[in-house]
Amino acid sequence: MTLRYRFRSIRAAIAAAVLIGMPIPGSLNALAQDAPTAEAPMTPPADSAAQSPQAALIQKGQYLVAAGDCVSCHTRPGGEPFAGGLPLKTPFGTIYSANITPDADTGIGGWSEAQLARAMHEGIDDQGHHLYPAFPYTAYTKVTDEDVQAIYAYLKSVAPVSYAPPKNEMSFPFNQRGLMAIWNRLFLKDARYQPDSSKSAEWNRGAYLVEGLGHCGACHTPRNQLGGERASLALTGGVYQDDVIDAVHEQDVVREDEGMVRPWAAVDLTPSPRGLGAWSTDDIAAYLKTGHNIRAGAFGPMAEVVANSTSHLTDADTRAMAVYLKSLTPAAQEIAKSVTPDQMRQGEIAFTVRCGDCHLPTGLGSPRTADADPTKVSPPLVGNAIIQAPDPASLINIILYGAHETTLNDKSWPKMPGFELDFGLGMDDDQISYLADYVRNSWGNQGGAVDPKDVARQR
């Protein structure tokens, strides 16, 4: 397997360093994560019979490391893969990812397999110190010992790199790693994935990958005020900070500045009308494999997840993940603030002028057919999860900065230009909010009214 990686400059974090020292609400049980029940075989991808057992183990480990997307966080821009040093910005300070190459002094060369297992399962390093949950051990805790063994074998096989990441810059009290023990009592369910024997092997494989190595919930599950994932709302959509990369302007390096982080809504992945309800199992599998399908294209942080992780998985595994996602209970979401007829009227005008040419007045988009105008080919907006997300952050990012999927093959969507930079048509915050209101409430779509202030914070 050859890996072509794609890197962003800064990933702003998620759970990070959460909330120690804040009042701890209610019962621990209410906050603890749900655990699935029973027991399952995790099969590695088929590999050639000629290999030595160690080579086969390393190859299996390479595959699992791709499934876990370790490289995205453990590689700084311009640095060697896995050597660490990527800054993860959190509200409590900056955490730098560790060097996980087998260098004895600066990496994990001195670590035993048991120590790696403890880090992944319990969030504790070789010295017994707590790691911050910006490292998604709350998901990796589900990874079987057998798979950790393969991951260990692979990480030991990569070239050692001598590089010490900068020291974390965390403010007091978040610089006290010991406080993570309290956080872990609330949010870490230290247990390997337990297969559900009432479900198929494919479903269990999908659940294992989505919940475990894939750590999809790190972005797609909403968090409580302590930064813990809300188990009862698992995969119903989360909001967090991440880069905006304006790929259309890559050439003239507009907006490529490091640290251009903006809120992103990682959409509802349940089969609700506002989530992936309109997507078939094949649609989901195709998106994970290639970054696009007939309905959508990965254009934001998800493009990196696809490029570095899910596109390297076998068709059987991306399909298994799709089967699992399709089986989730559809999320019920309330519309916070409804849209007025005047907002709809203003939004319709803006849509007709700026969007309707490609996405059509019906919102059905212009499919890639033999006789289609290639400059207008575009996905449907009807039933779209980005548009209907409770938080409009990703929709606003598209309108301002465009949509640019990483081109993994020639069936990808063309790039959609951003309106902030390209057209300079002078849409102010109010107009953009009306436009968003209109697409969120046309053609059967349902979404709450967008506050112009939400647009302002994303400029």
Restricted to residues 43-62, the positions that interact with ligand HEC (CB under 6 A) are none
Write out the two tokens for 18: 């959460």
Question: What is the rounded distance in angstroms from the CA atom of residue 224 to the CA atom of residue 56?
Answer: 41
d(C-alpha 238, C-alpha 15), whole Å? 11
Which of 207-232 are b and which e, b meaning 16 or more Cβ less than 10 Å from the residue's Cβ? bbbbbbbbbbbbbbbbbbebbbbebe
CB under 6 A: which stretch of 53-61, 182-190, 195-203, 207-215 binds ligand HEC?
A: 207-215
Query: In the bound complex, which residue of the shown chain has the CB atom lying closest to ligand HEC?
Result: 297
Q: To 5 degrees, how large is the angle CA 4–CA 8–CA 12? A: 135
Q: Measure the CA–CA gap between 130 and 116, rounded to whole angstroms.
A: 13
Residue that has been written with the tokens 């899910």 in this structure: 310
The verdict on 12 binding ligand HEC (CB under 6 A) reads: no
Q: What Å distances lie between residue 424 and 23, 245, 301, 354, 418, CA to CA?
A: 47, 18, 25, 11, 9
Q: Which is nearer to ligand HEC, 31 or 427 (CB)?
A: 427
By CB under 6 A, name the one of 4, 376, 453, 457 that touches ligand HEC: 376
Instruction: Indicate which single residue of 271, 347, 379, 447 sits in contact with ligand HEC (rule: CB under 6 A).
Output: 379
- Does 405 bind ligand HEC (CB under 6 A)? Our answer is yes
Question: Which range touches ligand HEC (CB under 6 A), out of 33-41, 192-200, 266-274, 331-339?
Answer: 266-274
Q: Which C-beta is closer to ligand HEC: that of 30 or that of 384?
A: 384
Give the span between the Cα atoms of 28 and 6, in whole angstroms: 39
Q: Considering only residues 42, 58, 119, 186, which one is a binding residue for ligand HEC as defined by CB under 6 A? A: 119
Q: What CA–CA distances, in Å, run from 190 to 186, 207, 212?
A: 11, 17, 12
User: Exactly one of 63, 92, 135, 193 binds ligand HEC (CB under 6 A); which one?
Assistant: 135
Q: Decide: is 378 part of the binding site for ligand HEC (CB under 6 A).
A: yes
Q: Does 203 bind ligand HEC (CB under 6 A)?
A: no
Q: Segment 274-313, which members bind ligand HEC (CB under 6 A)?
A: 284, 287-288, 296-303, 305, 310
- Angstrom distance (rounded) from CA 103 to CA 87: 20
Q: Which window, 42-50, 68-76, 181-189, 441-449, contacts ligand HEC (CB under 6 A)?
A: 68-76
Residues 231-260 that bind ligand HEC (CB under 6 A): none
Q: Quick one: 226 or 355, whose CB is closer to ligand HEC?
A: 355
**Segment interacting with ligand HEC, rule: CB under 6 A, options 26-34, 198-206, 265-273, 445-453:** 265-273
C-alpha to C-alpha distance for 98 and 167, rounded to whole angstroms: 10
Least distance to ligand HEC, CB of residue 326, Å: 11
